[in-house]
Amino acid sequence: MDQLTALGTFVRVIETGSFSTAARSLGVGQPAVSKAIATLEERLAVRLLLRSTRGLTPTDAGEAFYERAKRVMLEVEQAEHVARGASTRLSGRVRVSADVTFTRLHLMPALNGFLDTYPDLALDIVLDDRNVDLLEEGVDVGLRTGTHDILNMPARKLGEAPRCVVGSRAYFERAGIPATPGELSCHQFINYSQQGGGRVWTFRRNDAESSVSLNGQLSVSALEGVREAVLAGVGIAVAPEWMFLPELKSGQVRTVLTDWRLPPCELWVVIPAGRMASRKTHAFITFVQETLGHANASVATPQPCGSYFSEPIQEALTL
């Protein structure tokens, strides 16, 4: 293993906190990572890492070496970025972390075009509604819906979508249609228990504001479950409009209280701290932007609940 590769391996070990996670993110076996670190320590004649049952801890020498090694690797990545600027051929792998439902409904159907455009590029998409540790998972770029609360990580908002009170036609025929936010407390509410959900919601209309605590027997930790429960007529939900675009169009699902506004659902693109967005990462981000733009142009919803994702970023990202 050459010195530059060993340097990059050491940086990844420090950032992920384990040999196994570093190996997975680099696409190599754990023995190769262990050997690279051992060879590096032997060549430098200094201990860089302390190993214990609680994990890995850099020594003072290891901490100082990491700071300089990280700068070297960033310089190398930037040099490669510039050198490849004249080439449109992208290769390698992009590891993406994204929400399950958003990806299934709005990115997966468009992936053929992206993969056809970049035949030498491989996508590794990690689907999880939780805000996973991007460094630990070896992620190149994350897509997050909700509000931006990821500290110390470069991020850019791609756009935002309105939230609505939604329910199936069958449910509203059975339970009645609420005329005010306060009447929602009498309805069966499906709670999304992850960040971005909750039972207390504030509705606004002109200068009026109404905070309502919603009740229900069902709480779900994934948006897929919330979506299926709404479609099954279990109850109502507060959800971003993009979760139900086909059903809103067909009339299977409808929105209520459309003259009241809820906090919007934002879409963020996040780059792990200490990482530079490569050309292939930029290519994926551009694909997401274009996909959202096409959806905005093509989807006509029967309820006045707003657009799909408004205010997409037009300029090139500089993450």
User: Cα separations (Å) of 158 from 3, 104, 287?
Assistant: 38, 18, 12
Structure tokens at 258: 């459309």
Domains present along the chain, CATH in parentheses: 3-85 (1.10.10.10), 88-161+266-298 (3.40.190.10), 163-263 (3.40.190.290)
Among 21-25, 115-119, 209-213, the least confident range: 21-25
Predicted pLDDT of residue 140: 87
Q: Does the structure show a pLDDT above 90 at 201?
A: yes
User: Cα separations (Å) of 124 from 34, 96, 139?
Assistant: 24, 6, 9
Q: Does the structure show a pLDDT above 70 at 312?
A: no
Structure tokens at 247: 């059903």
Predicted pLDDT of residue 153: 58
User: Cα separations (Å) of 103 from 36, 249, 251?
Assistant: 36, 19, 23
pLDDT single digits (tens) 279-294: 888 889 889 888 877 5
Given a contact cutoff of 8 angstroms between Cβ atoms, the answer to whether 255 and 303 are in contact is yes
Query: Any alpha helices (H) in 189-313, and if so which ranges?
Result: 223-231, 245-250, 279-298
User: Cα separations (Å) of 312 from 102, 213, 229, 272?
Assistant: 16, 32, 30, 21
Predicted pLDDT of residue 165: 96
Tell me what percent of the chain is helix, strand and coil, each rounded to the nearest 5.
Answer: 40, 25, 35
pLDDT single digits (tens) 240-256: 988 998 899 999 999 99
Q: pTM for the complete prediction?
A: 0.63
Predicted pLDDT of residue 304: 34
Residue type, 109: P
Structure tokens at 299: 């989807």
Given a contact cutoff of 8 angstroms between Cβ atoms, the answer to whether 235 and 229 are in contact is yes
pLDDT single digits (tens) 139-167: 888 888 876 554 345 677 788 888 999 99
CA neighbor of 153 nearest in space, from 142, 165, 168? 142
For residue 33, give the H/E element and its range. helix 30-44
> 136-150: b or e for each residue (b if 16 or more CB lie within 10 Å)?
bbbbbbbbbbbeeeb
Q: Does the structure show a pLDDT above 50 at 298?
A: no
Confidence of residue 269 (pLDDT cuts 50, 70, 90): confident
CA neighbor of 265 nearest in space, from 223, 233, 230, 309? 309
Q: How many residues does the chain have?
A: 319
Given a contact cutoff of 8 angstroms between Cβ atoms, the answer to whether 112 and 271 are in contact is no
Instruction: Please give the Cα distance from 99 to 128 (Å, whole number).
Output: 5
CA neighbor of 188 nearest in space, from 257, 256, 234, 239? 234
Given a contact cutoff of 8 angstroms between Cβ atoms, the answer to whether 253 and 306 are in contact is no
Instruction: Please give the Cα distance from 21 to 12 (Å, whole number).
Output: 9
Predicted pLDDT of residue 3: 82
Structure tokens at 188: 């069966």
Instruction: Please give the Cα distance from 235 to 215 (Å, whole number).
Output: 10
Strand partners, 208: 205
Q: Does the structure show a pLDDT above 50 at 86?
A: no
Q: Does the structure show a pLDDT above 50 at 306?
A: no
CA neighbor of 223 nearest in space, from 189, 193, 201? 193
Residue 85 in 3-state DSSP? helix
